[in-house]
Structure 1
Amino acid sequence: MLYSLEDLSPKIHETAFVAPSAQIIGDVEILEGASVWFNCVLRGDAGKITIGKGTNIQDGTVIHEETTIGENCVVAHQCLVHRCTVGNNVIIGNGALVFGPAEIGENCVIGAGSVVIPGSNIPKNSLVLGIPGKVAREPSQENLEMTARTAANYQRNRDRYLKNLKEVK
């Protein structure tokens, strides 16, 4: 569902997919080829949220406050992303928490269940693990390929859902 709040209204590119149970509120922009999956909440009532081209926001994720997520990113299931800037080609693993203000550079992997704390500035090409999240090393080629493969899979799935999703009554 899309909701305006005062003079703030979502802007969804015609090639983006937003699942029917997702809640998109206020100043949210979802760019070309992006997807927001079931039971997500993107609440743009305290700053603009921008979801980059080809990025997928997976089931149950919450995004709030001023947040920009780059192109071809994967925000996996059940994440909380709050007041941050995320570069291109980043994967934020299942259940990870990102508390801002924070910046995450391009080509990063935020491990499942990790917690990025306020004030973090994660350099590009970093693998972050733990609570609080710390840079463990650079992501492997396999890590980077997984991010690209997952982004591409969700882009194909987006097209499938745009064409074929039908409510059963």
Structure 2
Amino acid sequence: MIVSSNAKKPTVHGSAYVAPTATISGDVTIEEGCAILFGSVVTAEGAPITIGANTVVMENAVLKSSGGSALLFPLEIGESCIVGPGAYVVGATIEPGAFIAAGAKVFNGATVEQGVSVAIGGIVHINTRVRAGQHVPMQHIAYGDPAVIHPPREAPAVHEAMNFFETVFNLEPSDDVRAKAAESYSKFLRKRHAQDAVIAEKDKKPAPPKSRSKLEEPPPTQAADVGKVVDVMFAELEEARLRREAAIEREKRGKK
């Protein structure tokens, strides 16, 4: 499904494949040779999204940009990347040849450099830069610039070190910061998507005409012509039969 959002329409290269159940919304550019598979969502909400040539976005992955009056988090995915099933990437930069595995998450302001692999369930947190040559193992957390790789048991310490709501929502810490974030984000989304409209799928080149084998039935127009020929043949055969019978009858009379 291709959706115009906030007066922006997606641009999809003619050679790219977008599955029927994928959703592409807003200021999104999908370059040549990409494959956007079933159930995936690519939605631009306040900043553009670019997906480079020959990149694969697998089933149920979610790719988002975000931005309001104060903060902008565009999403840029380089060429020849793979974003695995169920992955979540928002407002980040993914350089060419990177691999974001199934269920991995890359958050606002992060950069995953060229050729880096983020394994299953790995997390690249806000404003983190994972340098070329680094690897984020399964379920591990990358945080910082340059990234420090933390095992899952250190998640509470990583959370304490960052200020997620200030970075992503421009909200200062408070006891009710989560409620404030939900209220402001809901208001933003309702306004952003108020005029959304589904538009026609990208044009596809018509398939070449199928060649008809000798065993296939002819098309209706040709079938009608054949029918006429058969009728004429039967009429001629009937006429020949009558002439033959008449000739036999004359021969019998002559013998008498």
TM-score range, shorter chain: 0.7 to 0.9
In structure 1, distance between residues paired with 2:61 and 2:46: 17
Q: Does 1:98 align with 2:106?
A: yes
Q: Which is richer in strand?
A: 1
SS in 1 for 2:111: strand
Could you tell me which residue of structure 2 aligns to residue 26 of structure 1? 26
Is the contact between residue 75 and residue 93 of structure 2 (CA under 8 Å) also seen in structure 1?
A: yes
Q: Does 1:107 align with 2:115?
A: yes
In structure 1, distance between residues paired with 2:45 and 2:108: 16
Is the contact between residue 84 and residue 102 of structure 1 (CA under 8 Å) also seen in structure 2?
A: yes
State the 1:6 CA deviation.
2.7
In structure 2, distance between residues paired with 1:109 and 1:27: 27
In structure 2, distance between residues paired with 1:135 and 1:70: 23
In structure 1, distance between residues paired with 2:8 and 2:40: 19
Runs of 5+ unmatched residues, structure 1:
137-162, 164-169
In structure 2, distance between residues paired with 1:17 and 1:78: 19
Is the contact between residue 141 and residue 149 of structure 2 (CA under 8 Å) also seen in structure 1?
A: no
Q: Which is richer in helix?
A: 2
Identity among equivalent positions (%) equals 29
Q: Does 1:63 align with 2:63?
A: yes
> What is the identity, as a one-letter code, of the residue corresponding to 2:83?
V
Is the contact between residue 107 and residue 126 of structure 1 (CA under 8 Å) also seen in structure 2?
A: no
Larger RCO, structure (CA 8 Å, separation 6 or more): 1
> What is the identity, as a one-letter code, of the residue corresponding to 1:5?
S
State the 1:125 CA deviation.
2.4
> TM-score scaled to structure 1, two decimals?
0.77
Could you tell me which residue of structure 2 aligns to residue 40 of structure 1? 40
> TM-score scaled to structure 2, two decimals?
0.52
> What is the identity, as a one-letter code, of the residue corresponding to 1:24?
I
Could you tell me which residue of structure 1 aligns to residue 141 of structure 2? 132
In structure 2, distance between residues paired with 1:95 and 1:85: 18
Aligned length: 137
Rg: which structure is higher? Answer: 2
> What is the identity, as a one-letter code, of the residue corresponding to 1:131?
H
> What is the identity, as a one-letter code, of the residue corresponding to 1:81?
V
Runs of 5+ unmatched residues, structure 2:
66-73, 143-147, 151-206, 208-256
RMSD: 1.5
State the 1:135 CA deviation.
4.5
State the 1:104 CA deviation.
0.7
Runs of 4+ residues deviating >4 angstroms: none
